[in-house]
Structure 1
Amino acid sequence: MNAALKEFLKNGFDKASTNEMVKEAEISKGSLFNYFQNKKDLYLYLVDYAYQIIDKVYERIDFTERDLFKRLGNVGLVKLQIQKQSPHIFDFLTYLIHEDSEEVKDVIDQKYNVVFKEGLTKIYENIDYSKFREDIDVQKAMDILTWTMVGFGEKARSEIKPFDEVGEKQLRDWESYAEILKRSFYK
């Protein structure tokens, strides 16, 4: 799967080569097509797999936590743990937004709208916004938090060695950034 993800990331759907995938995975082309009828079937399988990963992220989030900073920290930690298991999956999800192949775009758009819109609604649902200062535009603060989380995730991901334990260090690092932002945004 990782070989196929890498190839689609590198070349997009239209230009991706199943020859490169099987070479990287060290399997025969017959083995690949034993499971998938063609490149499109493989691609759509990976799209479904990627969206299942997103569902796993949502399943592992503590939605009883009403503090936005703590919830976002939990989201980031879950993503890091999953990223360790499937190193290219979140890159692939990001890439899907920009896929322009007519052969697969409609399917991606339909699934994207459901998975991400519902997910973002869940993440920001039941948050205690009364903790924010009155002079703060909460939407802009949430944008800043989201951008910080994305940047933090990229930084943390680049520092993770293949067999490192994802968790305590990343959590402490996030908490130090979150504390700075919390002092800026909260009462």
Structure 2
Amino acid sequence: MTINASFNKLKTEKKNLIINAAIKEFVRNGFDKASTNEMVKEANISKGSLFNYFHSKKDLYVYLIEYGIQVIEYLYEQIDLNETDLFKRIENIGLQKFHIHRKFPHVFDFLASSVKEESADVKDIIRKKVDPIYKQGTEIIYKNIDYSKFREDIDVEKAIEILNWTMSGFGEKALQQINSFEDIDEFGSLYFKEWERYSEILKASFYK
């Protein structure tokens, strides 16, 4: 990956604008069909500037992958491993993701879409860089969890599978709704109240 040092010298606001514009376009169209014209239009920079910062579309994509991984690693660092209740752990992760989403609204979508990316130009890089970080995340999310809270007649692995499906669906629903709110804090408050309702239903089903 080749990146011009001048990109890192940009003001944070301008860097974030370029990052978000590029991520949004890659999520929308995938690597091969993503248009650098659309990226520079949204970021309000010239195409020459973009290719001065990143020598190719592939360099830009790889940079964003590595940037997204840094964001995910930061998220993992914020997880309180002393919290042994699975539902509270998940709530904490949701809160951290919400804060990250405020700054980089498409980063989680980008990493999720990268796993499905089939372009030969970047497929191997994704498998090498992204797959391990998701595996690490699964290990961290469930580390030090007190499984004794689950009822004895419950298959814990199946319960976690159901919980993962619920989280995934709830997260997708939230991402679809978030842009319709002018007040992001209002959305956050409603989001966590709704998750509490889901959580109570699942707790009643799985916990002693």
Normalised TM-score (structure 1): 0.94
Which residue identity does 1:65 align to in structure 2?
E
Which residue identity does 1:57 align to in structure 2?
L
1:170 counterpart residue number: 191
Which residue identity does 1:86 align to in structure 2?
F
> Percent of aligned pairs with the same residue?
60
Following the alignment from structure 1 to structure 2, what is the Cα–Cα distance between the partners of residues 167 and 9?
A: 23
Gap change, CA 1:152 and 1:65, over 3 Å in 2: same
Following the alignment from structure 2 to structure 1, what is the Cα–Cα distance between the partners of residues 26 and 182?
A: 22
> Which one of the candidate residues 113, 117, 121 is aligned to 1:95?
113
**Residue-pair matches, total:** 187
Deviation at 1:52, TM superposition (A): 1.1
- The answer to whether 1:107 aligns with 2:125 is yes
Which residue identity does 2:52 align to in structure 1?
N
Deviation at 1:128, TM superposition (A): 0.5
> Which one of the candidate residues 20, 28, 32 is aligned to 2:50?
32
> Which one of the candidate residues 149, 169, 182 is aligned to 1:151?
169
Q: Is the 8 A contact 1:9 1:91 kept in 2?
A: yes
Which residue identity does 2:26 align to in structure 1?
F
Which residue identity does 1:11 align to in structure 2?
N
Gap change, CA 1:13 and 1:61, over 3 Å in 2: same
Write out aligned runs for 1:22-171 (5 A).
22-160=40-178, 161-165=181-185, 167-171=188-192
Following the alignment from structure 2 to structure 1, what is the Cα–Cα distance between the partners of residues 188 and 38?
A: 34
Which residue identity does 1:56 align to in structure 2?
Y
Which residue identity does 1:70 align to in structure 2?
K
Gap change, CA 1:48 and 1:157, over 3 Å in 2: same
Deviates more, 1:83-92 or 1:63-72: 83-92
Following the alignment from structure 2 to structure 1, what is the Cα–Cα distance between the partners of residues 91 and 36?
A: 38
2:200 counterpart residue number: 179
SS state at 2:31 partner: helix
Which residue identity does 2:196 align to in structure 1?
E
Following the alignment from structure 1 to structure 2, what is the Cα–Cα distance between the partners of residues 66 and 84?
A: 27
Structure 2 regions of 5+ residues with no counterpart?
1-18
Q: Is the 8 A contact 2:23 2:110 kept in 1?
A: yes
Q: Is the 8 A contact 1:136 1:185 kept in 2?
A: yes
Structure 1 regions of 5+ residues with no counterpart?
none
Following the alignment from structure 1 to structure 2, what is the Cα–Cα distance between the partners of residues 158 and 59?
A: 27
Write the deviation string for residues 126-180 of structure 1: whole angstroms up to 9, x where unpaired.
1001111111110110011111112222223333325421643322221221111
Which residue identity does 2:198 align to in structure 1?
Y
